[in-house]
Amino acid sequence: MTELINVVNSFQELDLETENAIKYYFVEEKFKKDELIIQKGKICTKIYFIKYGKYSYWA
């Protein structure tokens, strides 16, 4: 979670309470190559921060 906090802090400094909330509520997920994480027609219930790798999207 340190990477996410550092990115957000580069735009807007976070207080300790907010940093702790990010550490509590955000979880790291790993996906296999070519795995879909968002599908057309489905309601998205998550926000993704991509730490590394490649992604594609279709409009």
Burial of 3 (0-12, 13-18, 19+ CB in 10 A): exposed
CB burial readout 22-46, b (16+ within 10 A) else e:
eeeeeeeeeeeeeeeeeeeeeeeee
Residues 45-58 have a mean pLDDT of 84
What's the pLDDT score for residue 59? 67
Average pLDDT, the chain: 90
* Model confidence pLDDT, tens digit, residues 6-25: 999 999 999 999 999 999 99
Estimate to the nearest angstrom the gap between the alpha carbon of 9 and the chain centroid.
Answer: 15
What's the pLDDT score for residue 38? 86
